[in-house]
């Protein structure tokens, strides 16, 4: 009998299972995908992050970790399954439901069940508890039930799993204590106990905070673009204030967490969702802004080629999920533009309906314009010669302010940068007159409370 059964062998479940195995537990890792299970049992993993593959293969080699397609009786069950959005931007809890149903027949008195998947407030004591009760056992009395959100940053998963502080929310305080006994075997961060509802909201708040703050940076970028100001310099200066820490503008927010999680709160609490929804809309519209600027400048006429640099949703990772690159690509294709996408980390092949290539020269070949979406380390040192020799046009858009603009301009390129007004993109261009007047029609009052 396994001591711990981890359901879902994705980017959180597999490292967690491996760390538990390294800590000496007998772990059964469960995934519904037989190919994933077979590959893992043969010692193959798709994980390419530094440190992770080593921990995973060591866990399998030690035989403390074994993968299977169905759970078995165990002392502890940890659910690390995905919670994506459904077509109405609500939480799709199908995988959580299926995982709870799969463990229900194996549940015994004294067991511990932990949900890690990001979930709407109330999922642990609602959906999960209801399914587990069907076997006649009561959470808090007969078995322990907790919510313990993962907090790892993709790209730094292993270090964050070990070092980050964790919040454990118990259905009862005793449930939380039972989970602490397991997590403290591999987590070196501080473990704080609370109730399941608070822990669920905490996780959603963390990612919503990030989304709203990126949206704030993107809103500032738009203001700067309209004012002929360089937002990157302005942010640098604003961040000299001891209580200000503005994030970086960009092409919007990708990945499977931050563009998704705020919707869980918006769906559950629409009466308080205005700010959250506005942030989502700003971030979702951000990628298309750079394309609109290229279209407005006539840089990519129908029939021409646009080269997109970066398919991963953020720098130096291989994950293309929800990447703004594909939003830009789809809109460009709709406008009759031929699109080529390059990424040095994402597996070459089709993603989101587009071919991603690992050949940069080929991606740039004959392009009228190029747009940098992801600030991979490999791109930051690209020479202007590469663009010059391969591209047909002379326009480069930089969503991350990551390229060497001086060298590109000296080579004859026009550089369009997120957060930088057009006048600022020309060499030696005089600073455009600041629009001191607002865009409000003459005489219209500013809406807001009256001071009188
Ligand atoms: N981004 C910007 N500007 C910034 C920071 C980020 O445009 O200044 C963009 C990135 O390019 C990316 C997106 O935001 O497209 C999200 O990237 P991220 O690095 O902020 O976060 P994720 O999605 O990789 O991981 C987040 C983390 N949450 C927080 O930092 C609050 C991580 O700790 C969570 O565990 C993870 O979501 C998750 O699984 O929920």
Q: What span, in angstroms and rounded, lies between the C-alpha atoms of 381 and 225?
A: 25
Report the residue count for the chain.
452
- How confident is the model at residue 446, as a pLDDT? 45
Q: What span, in angstroms and rounded, lies between the C-alpha atoms of 184 and 41?
A: 27
403 secondary structure, DSSP code? S
Q: Which residue is closest in CA terms to ligand 1's atom 37?
A: 257
Q: Report CA-CA distances (Å) from 376 to 59, 316, 372, 398.
A: 31, 5, 9, 12
- 45 pLDDT tier (thresholds 50, 70, 90): confident
Q: What span, in angstroms and rounded, lies between the C-alpha atoms of 391 and 383?
A: 13
- 12 pLDDT tier (thresholds 50, 70, 90): very high
Question: Ligand 1 within 6 A of 255 CB?
Answer: yes
241 secondary structure, DSSP code? S
Q: What span, in angstroms and rounded, lies between the C-alpha atoms of 107 and 139?
A: 11
Kindly state the tokens that stand for 340: 């080529």
Question: Ligand 1 within 6 A of 151 CB?
Answer: yes
As a whole number, mean pLDDT of residues 210-236 equals 97
As a whole number, mean pLDDT of residues 291-298 equals 95
Kindly state the tokens that stand for 423: 């006048």
Q: What is the pLDDT of residues 342-396, one digit of tens each?
A: 999 999 999 999 999 999 999 999 999 999 999 999 999 999 999 999 999 999 9
Catalytic residue among 80, 146, 175, 257: 257
As a whole number, mean pLDDT of residues 174-203 equals 98
- Cα 89 to chain centroid distance, Å, stands at 16
- 46 pLDDT tier (thresholds 50, 70, 90): confident
- Rounded to the nearest 5 degrees, what angle is found at the Cα of 32, between the Cα atoms of 28 and 33? 110
As a whole number, mean pLDDT of residues 45-73 equals 89
- 48 pLDDT tier (thresholds 50, 70, 90): confident
SS3 for 368? coil
Q: With 90 as the cut, is the pLDDT of residue 440 above it?
A: no
Question: Ligand 1 within 6 A of 250 CB?
Answer: yes
Torsion angle in degrees (nearest 10) through CA of 126, 127, 129, 131: 150
Question: Ligand 1 within 6 A of 214 CB?
Answer: yes
Percent of the chain topping pLDDT 90: 87
Least confident of 52-56, 228-232, 317-321, 431-435: 431-435
Pocket test for ligand 1, best of 15, 83, 258 (most atoms within 8 A of CB): 258
As a whole number, mean pLDDT of residues 208-224 equals 98
In sequence order, what are the residues at sequence separation of 6 or more whose Cβ sits closer than 8 angstroms to the Cβ of residue 291?
300, 328, 331, 332, 371
Query: Beta partners for 145?
Result: 113
Mean residue pLDDT across the chain: 93
DSSP collapsed to 3 states, 84-141: CECCCCCECCHHHHHHHHHHHHHCCCCCEEEECCCCCCCCHHHHHHHHHHCCCCCECC
Neighbours of 130 (CB within 10 A): 12
| Residue 190 appears among annotated catalytic residues | no
Higher per-residue confidence, 50 vs 140: 140
Question: Ligand 1 within 6 A of 3 CB?
Answer: no
SS3 for 398? strand
Q: What span, in angstroms and rounded, lies between the C-alpha atoms of 429 and 218?
A: 24
- How confident is the model at residue 50, as a pLDDT? 72
- How confident is the model at residue 338, as a pLDDT? 98
State the distance from the centre of ligand 1 to the C-alpha of 251, rounded, in angstroms. Answer: 13
| Residue 203 appears among annotated catalytic residues | yes
* b/e per residue 274-299 (b: at least 16 CB within 10 A): eebeebbebbbebbbbbbebbbeeeb
List the helix and strand counts (H, then E) for the chain.
17, 15
Higher per-residue confidence, 132 vs 48: 132
State the distance from the centre of ligand 1 to the C-alpha of 258, rounded, in angstroms. Answer: 6
- How confident is the model at residue 155, as a pLDDT? 86
Taken in order of first residue, the domains within the chain and their CATH numbers are 2-189 (3.40.50.720), 231-431 (3.40.50.720)
State the distance from the centre of ligand 1 to the C-alpha of 210, rounded, in angstroms. Answer: 7
Q: With 80 as the cut, is the pLDDT of residue 452 above it?
A: no
State the distance from the centre of ligand 1 to the C-alpha of 257, rounded, in angstroms. Answer: 8
Pocket test for ligand 1, best of 257, 324, 345 (most atoms within 8 A of CB): 257
Q: What span, in angstroms and rounded, lies between the C-alpha atoms of 83 and 257?
A: 9
Question: Ligand 1 within 6 A of 400 CB?
Answer: no
Catalytic residue among 5, 148, 203, 399: 203
Strands in 349-351's sheet, in edge-to-edge order, are: 349-351, 354-357, 338-342, 305-309, 369-372, 395-398, 414-417
Nearest residue to 169 via CA among 99, 115, 101: 115
Using an 8 Å Cβ cutoff, are 284 and 259 in contact?
yes
Lookup result for tokens 């600027």: 293
């Amino acid at each position: 009998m396994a001591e711990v059964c981890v359901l879902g062998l994705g980017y959180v479940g597999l490292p967690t299972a491996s760390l538990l195995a390294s800590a000496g537990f007998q772990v059964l890792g469960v995934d519904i995908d037989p190919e994933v299970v077979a590959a893992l049992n043969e010692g193959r993993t798709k994980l390419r992050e530094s440190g992770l593959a080593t921990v995973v293969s060591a866990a399998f080699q030690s035989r403390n970790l074994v993968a299977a397609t169905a759970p078995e009786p165990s002392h502890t069950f940890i659910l690390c399954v995905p919670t994506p959005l459904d077509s109405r931007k609500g939480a799709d809890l199908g995988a959580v439901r299926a995982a709870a149903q799969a463990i229900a027949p194996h549940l015994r008195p004294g067991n511990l069940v932990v949900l890690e998947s990001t979930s709407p407030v109330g999922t642990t004591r609602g959906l999960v508890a209801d399914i587990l009760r069907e076997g006649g056992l009561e959470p808090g009395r007969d078995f322990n039930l907790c919510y313990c959100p993962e907090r790892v940053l993709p790209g730094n998963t292993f270090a964050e799993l070990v070092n980050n502080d964790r919040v454990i929310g118990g259905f009862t305080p005793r449930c939380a204590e039972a989970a602490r006994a397991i997590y403290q075997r591999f987590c070196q961060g501080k473990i704080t106990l609370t109730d399941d509802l608070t822990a669920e909201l905490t996780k959603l708040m963390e990612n919503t905070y990030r989304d709203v703050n990126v949206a704030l940076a993107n809103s500032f970028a738009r203001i700067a673009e309209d004012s002929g100001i360089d937002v990157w310099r302005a942010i640098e200066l604003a961040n000299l204030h001891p209580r200000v820490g503005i994030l970086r503008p960009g092409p919007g927010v990708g990945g499977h967490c931050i563009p998704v999680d705020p919707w869980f709160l918006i769906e559950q609490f629409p009466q308080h969702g205005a700010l959250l929804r506005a942030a989502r809309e700003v971030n979702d519209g951000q990628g298309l802004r750079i394309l609109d600027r290229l279209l407005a400048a006539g840089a990519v006429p129908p029939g021409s080629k646009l080269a997109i640099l970066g398919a991963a949703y953020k720098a130096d990772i291989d994950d293309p999920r929800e990447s703004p690159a594909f939003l830009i690509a789809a809109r460009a294709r709709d406008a009759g533009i031929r699109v080529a996408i390059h990424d040095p980390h994402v597996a070459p092949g089709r993603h989101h309906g587009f071919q991603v290539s690992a050949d940069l020269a080929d991606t740039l070949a004959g392009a009228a314009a190029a747009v940098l979406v992801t600030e991979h380390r490999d791109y930051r040192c690209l020479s202007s010669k590469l663009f010059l020799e391969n591209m047909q046009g002379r326009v480069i858009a930089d969503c991350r302010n990551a390229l060497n603009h001086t060298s590109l301009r000296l080579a004859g390129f026009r550089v369009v940068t997120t957060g930088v007004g057009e006048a600022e993109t020309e060499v030696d261009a005089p600073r455009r007159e600041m629009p001191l007047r607002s865009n409000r029609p003459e005489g219209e009052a500013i809406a807001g409370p009256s001071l009188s």
